[in-house]
Amino acid sequence: MELRELALAASTRSQTPVNERDVERLLAAILSSEDVWRIMDLSDVPVMAACELLRELHRTEWLEWNDGRIWLTSRGREKCRALGVQPPPELRCPSCRGSGVELGPMACVAQTFSELAAGRPQALQEFDQGFVDEASVLSRAAFMWSKADVAGREVLVLGDDDLLSLALALTKAPKRLVALDIDPRIVSFLRETATEQGLPLEVAQHDLRHPLPLELIPSFHTFVCDPTESLRGFLAFAWRGMSALRGPGCSGYLGLTRREASLTKWRHIQEELLQSGAVITDLLHDFHSYENWTYFETMVAWDKLPTRRVPGAGEQWYRSALIRLELLEHPHCPQEELQGDMFDDAEAATT
Amino acid sequence: MELRELALAASTRSQTPVNERDVERLLAAILSSEDVWRIMDLSDVPVMAACELLRELHRTEWLEWNDGRIWLTSRGREKCRALGVQPPPELRCPSCRGSGVELGPMACVAQTFSELAAGRPQALQEFDQGFVDEASVLSRAAFMWSKADVAGREVLVLGDDDLLSLALALTKAPKRLVALDIDPRIVSFLRETATEQGLPLEVAQHDLRHPLPLELIPSFHTFVCDPTESLRGFLAFAWRGMSALRGPGCSGYLGLTRREASLTKWRHIQEELLQSGAVITDLLHDFHSYENWTYFETMVAWDKLPTRRVPGAGEQWYRSALIRLELLEHPHCPQEELQGDMFDDAEAATT
């Protein structure tokens, strides 16, 4: 009951639904690590709710904090013991980083991809950017390839600060490869790199708040997108991707975090994807690990953190799941202009 | 268009919805292997629909068969080339068999589990049995443990010819562990083994067509079930599990195949799970590999196969996905008696 009340208070304050299990997850994470970012990573509690939960647990004298470190008081430890909260073992397979796939043919392009990616534009807060690490890009491409969604296929990448399109282009396996991005720096970088290297990659600037250009619809077998995570933003981007697919049997890949999306939001998203004509064929937790970005101190969660420090380059904590869907019918999903602030969502932490 | 017509014909004949992508998957599998069981495995097309698709492809002279082998004719190869069908690389991580997890603490009980499992009862068709291999059991237990669903938890295993409860009991990590099974041989085996080994495991006989005994509801943190795969059977078993959970934040694990469930059925199941108050947190393709059973020649698919042979012990082909769900509210799901033949489903192949 105590955990439920803590969850309710944090849910109300953060406008982000969490339950007693989330409190347990947060406590288990604090039993594993004192570092605020490691705790955010391990707990899988949405950051905005975790910040409020930490304050509630501080008010009830379960924990203390200082300089980006958080630890349980003896009262907090006693409570954890009584509740049976214990940190689970981390069992991510070290060979595949939990992705379940080996790189196979992607291993042949890894070195070149790394060299080319070294010249990439840095992440900008304006476009809600933040890119996954190279290993995640290669694993995602390998996963897609193993599902027969790459070789001989027409593939559309919607938003590509990750440079997935570059990794796929290096394989020369797709029949056609198109990348769209809102950021002129990304568009130029991809286009120039493709030209210099003679890679089969079409690049165009496009703002996903607008429906896709008509000439792209519906011509693809596969789309990939890491949508912004406000509920309506996520769905709008996912629907853009679905609208670009030829029809039944075509597939889509979406990234979705636990950092900025509660499981309640996950459920809404899953319901909408199913209603739009798709089935979820795969859902892999923490498939992607992000590089830390440079705008930590201006992101909305910064002021909410009870104790702060900027994480180092190697201290990854922001991860996302990989969702693969497959269309079972022609998609029925709205293609309206996305009006107003598409980042506006109580669960948003990094915008 | 040609693929669509083939899919439509096979869907109608088998009463199992498949689409043009399924035809591609089947052709890609035949490009990879001539063996009928390996083709069933690689294609992920429901067996009953695959049998009809093979006949359609034979009628249109794309393939030939003999003695459990299937191969493309030159016409079929030409069609595949024109359609761009090519087999995808198999990239399952060899370290974790694609599960994404290492065994961690489960490695300590692997040897004992294997010794105890050697005395298990063999699979019976009467109870739709067929058990996953020991590596799959250990990976599933490790996966559950890593999600904080095992240690200190009350865990309910609904139907356990896999002997998962035995593997979990050997760890002594759960707070309480209960296994129910319809088969008196399984009940006796689990009960006697637990007694002999001094393991904390409660075992009872129960037929899942009936609601769970009231004294079990709602007292568990975690349930596990590999339901029979008729749509109403699957949902009834899943709902039994959900009814045994304490409430929000509790989790369930379900096995679901592509062998006896079309993606259309998958979508219905996913919709129902979401509507019942759950979110899907993980969905791992081919997580479990089954040992071949002894009743091949009496299963319903046997007569439908265009060419047959009994697979050898090491030739695994029947696999299932692992679904993890988490409750976000108290579940609302019917708990009626399951009347009539619960195996009655056009997509059922092994009953």
> Over the stretch B156-185, which tens digit does the pLDDT of each residue have?
999 999 999 999 999 999 999 999 999 999
Task: Band the pLDDT of B342: cuts 50, 70, 90.
Answer: confident
Contacts of B20 in chain A (CB under 8 A): 248-249
Asked if A135 has any chain B CB less than 8 Å from its own CB, the reply is no
User: From the CB of residue A69, how many other CB atoms can be counted at a distance below 10 Å?
Assistant: 14
What is the mean pLDDT of the segment spanning A78-98? 96
**Inter-residue contact A284 to A322 (CB < 8 Å):** yes
Asked if B272 has any chain A CB less than 8 Å from its own CB, the reply is no
Question: Is the per-residue pLDDT at A299 higher than 90?
Answer: no
The pLDDT of residue A115 is 97
Q: What's the token pair of residue B314?
A: 């090491």
Cβ separation B91–A101 shorter than 8 A: yes
Asked if B281 has any chain A CB less than 8 Å from its own CB, the reply is yes
Q: Give the CATH number of domain A2-83; options: 3.90.226.10, 1.10.10.10, 3.20.20.10, 1.20.970.10.
A: 1.10.10.10
Name which of A22, A93, A146, A171 to mutate to probe chain B: the one with the most chain B Cβ atoms within 10 A of its Cβ.
Answer: A93
The pLDDT of residue A1 is 55
What is the mean pLDDT of the segment spanning A333-342? 84
**Inter-residue contact A179 to A143 (CB < 8 Å):** no
Contacts of A154 in chain B (CB under 8 A): none
CATH code: domain A104-327 is 3.40.50.150
pLDDT over 70 percentage in chain B: 100
Question: Is the per-residue pLDDT at A310 higher than 60?
Answer: yes
Q: What is the mean pLDDT of chain B?
A: 95
Residues 6+ apart with CB under 8 A from A115: none
Beta strands in A198-258 (DSSP E): 202-205, 222-225, 251-257
Closest CA to A106 of A139, A80, A153: A139
Interface predicted TM-score (ipTM): 0.97
**Inter-residue contact A164 to A157 (CB < 8 Å):** yes
Name which of B279, B319, B326, B332 to mutate to probe chain A: the one with the most chain A Cβ atoms within 10 A of its Cβ.
Answer: B279
Name which of A80, A264, A267 to mutate to probe chain B: the one with the most chain B Cβ atoms within 10 A of its Cβ.
Answer: A267
What is the mean pLDDT of the segment spanning B288-308? 90
Contacts of B84 in chain A (CB under 8 A): 152-153, 175
Question: Is the per-residue pLDDT at B335 higher than 90?
Answer: no
Cβ separation A21–B248 shorter than 8 A: yes
Q: What predicted TM-score, i.e. pTM, was given to this entire model?
A: 0.97
The pLDDT of residue A51 is 97
CA distance, residue B182 to nearest chain A CA (Å): 30
Name which of B96, B268, B323 to mutate to probe chain A: the one with the most chain A Cβ atoms within 10 A of its Cβ.
Answer: B96
DSSP run (H or E) holding B100: none
**Inter-residue contact A178 to A166 (CB < 8 Å):** no
Cβ separation A152–B264 shorter than 8 A: no
The pLDDT of residue A294 is 84
Interface subset of A 92-121, CB within 8 angstroms of B: 92-96, 98-105
Nearest CB to A88: which of B151, B274, B280? Answer: B151
DSSP run (H or E) holding B192: helix B184-197
Cβ separation B271–A267 shorter than 8 A: no
Cβ separation A248–B19 shorter than 8 A: yes
Task: Band the pLDDT of B249: cuts 50, 70, 90.
Answer: very high
Least confident piece of the model among A178-187, B82-91, B291-300: B291-300
Asked if B22 has any chain A CB less than 8 Å from its own CB, the reply is yes
Longest CA–CA separation in chain A, Å? 64
Closest CA in chain B for residue A82: B152
Contacts of A153 in chain B (CB under 8 A): 84
Burial grade of A155 (CB within 10 A; 0-12, 13-18, 19 or more): buried
Interface subset of A 176-235, CB within 8 angstroms of B: none
Where do the domains of chain B lie? Answer: 2-83, 104-327
The predicted-structure confidence for B47-80, as pLDDT tens digits, reads as follows 999 999 999 999 999 999 999 999 999 999 999 9
Nearest CB to A267: which of B84, B151, B328? Answer: B328
Task: Band the pLDDT of B1: cuts 50, 70, 90.
Answer: low
CA A186/CA A325 separation, integer angstroms: 27
CA A78/CA A85 separation, integer angstroms: 10
Tell me how many helices (H) and strands (E) chain A has.
11, 9
Residues 6+ apart with CB under 8 A from A153: A174, A175, A220, A221, A222, B84
Cβ separation A99–B103 shorter than 8 A: no
Task: Band the pLDDT of A335: cuts 50, 70, 90.
Answer: confident
The predicted-structure confidence for B74-121, as pLDDT tens digits, reads as follows 999 999 999 999 999 999 999 999 999 999 999 999 999 999 999 999
Cβ separation A101–B92 shorter than 8 A: yes
Nearest CB to A267: which of B98, B100, B279? Answer: B279
CA angle B87, B319, A100 (to 5 degrees): 65
Cβ separation A271–B266 shorter than 8 A: no
For residue A248, what are the CA distances in angstroms to A269, A281, B20, B53? Answer: 20, 14, 7, 17
Cα Rg, chain B, nearest whole Å: 21
Q: What's the token pair of residue A263?
A: 């499981």
Asked if A89 has any chain B CB less than 8 Å from its own CB, the reply is yes
Contacts of A92 in chain B (CB under 8 A): 100-102, 146
Cis amide bond preceding B218, omega within 30: yes
> Beta partners for A280?
A325
